[in-house]
Amino acid sequence: MTRTRQQDPVFFYDRFSEHFDDAMNGYDVRKRIRIVFSDLLPTELQGRKILDAGCGTGWFSRAAMERGADFVVSLDIGMNLLKRTDRKCRSRKVCSDVLHLPFPAESFDIVICSEVIEHTPEPGAAFRELARVLKRGGILVLTVPNRFWHWAVRFANRFRLRPYEGLENWCRREDIRTWCGEHRISIEKLYGFHLYPYILPCTHGMLDYFDRFGDRLGPVMLNIALKGSKR
């Protein structure tokens, strides 16, 4: 039987868009924005063509524009998500799938993709598309949850401890390294953040402390961060 859009987990976040911001963990979002824009990207964004691939409700698109970017494309699979993004910033909106990006090869100077490719049927194919549309010498910034912790999301889903019902094809660090090699992405930084789930606010200070050891503890951390440049 063919799934309808209302049943397909690929479109879950578009159906969930009205509640998405309320359900997101603010601490995690702020940390990922800080990692992407303070640690992984150059400070000068003006004049660079930027793709926010899988923009969700627009937090990273807005952050890019607040930091001087004047050409930001916000792409997501659902119009409801793009409408939420439009409330945050005046980026260019494109409704499409990260598995089939509607851009010519080497279109962007910077590609940002935070906690997205694991929600596709084929994360490796999504990575290939991100690399394809990146210009030679351009920067790819990616964050993904670490498959080492996938047992935790299965546990949380089983006991209805989280509201998400989309695809959960989490990646391994070895996957990231393999895909970078296959698609001419030179790894400049690859590390972890969040040593354990960030559910309890009283533990956030300790999480921030352990983030400084992301190079060494990365294999057992909850999330993976990548900065790569295209050869």
Position 52 scores a pLDDT of 98
Is the pLDDT confidence value at 1 over 50? no
DSSP structural state of residue 222: S
Q: Say if 195 falls within a structural domain.
A: yes
- Which of 34, 60, 49 is CA-nearest to residue 225? 34
Task: Kindly report the CATH number assigned to the domain that includes residue 167.
Answer: 3.40.50.150
pTM of the model: 0.94
Q: Which helix (H) or strand (E) holds 192?
A: strand 185-193
Euclidean distance between CA atoms 174 and 101, whole angstroms: 24
Nearest to 130 by CA among 40, 54, 22: 54
| Span 37-57, average pLDDT | 96
Residue ranges of the alpha helices (H) in 47-91?
59-66, 79-88
Query: Mean pLDDT for the chain?
Result: 94
**Rounded Cα–Cα distance for residues 81 and 230 (Å):** 29
The answer to whether 99 and 129 have CB atoms below 8 angstroms apart is yes
Give per-residue burial for 143-162: e unless 16+ CB within 10 Å, then b.
bbbbbbbbeebeeeeeeeee
pLDDT of residue 156: 74
Q: What is the pLDDT of residue 140?
A: 98
Percent of the chain surpassing pLDDT 90: 82
pLDDT of residue 5: 67
Domain carrying residue 75: 9-230
**Domain presence at residue 31:** yes
64 assigned to some structural domain: yes
Residue pLDDT, tens place only, 73-131: 999 999 999 999 999 999 999 999 999 999 999 999 999 999 999 999 999 999 999 99
* Orientation angle between helical segments 59-66 and 26-34, nearest 10 degrees: 40
What's the pLDDT tens digit per position in 139-190? 999 999 999 999 887 877 776 767 777 789 999 999 999 999 999 999 999 9
- Cα–Cα dist 199/72, whole Å: 31
- The DSSP symbol for 46 reads T
Residue 3 has pLDDT above 90, yes or no: no
Residues 208, 137: contact at Cβ < 8 Å? Answer: no
- Phi, psi angle pair for 114, to nearest 5°: -115, 115
Q: Of 11-25, 78-92, 105-119, 197-211, which range is least confident?
A: 11-25
In a domain, 4, yes or no: no
Instruction: Name the more confident of 206 and 6.
Output: 206
How many domains, the chain?
Answer: 1
CA dihedral angle for residue 182, residue 214, residue 30, residue 152, rounded to 10 degrees: 80
CA distances from 57 to 10, 60, 175 (A): 16, 9, 27
In a domain, 1, yes or no: no
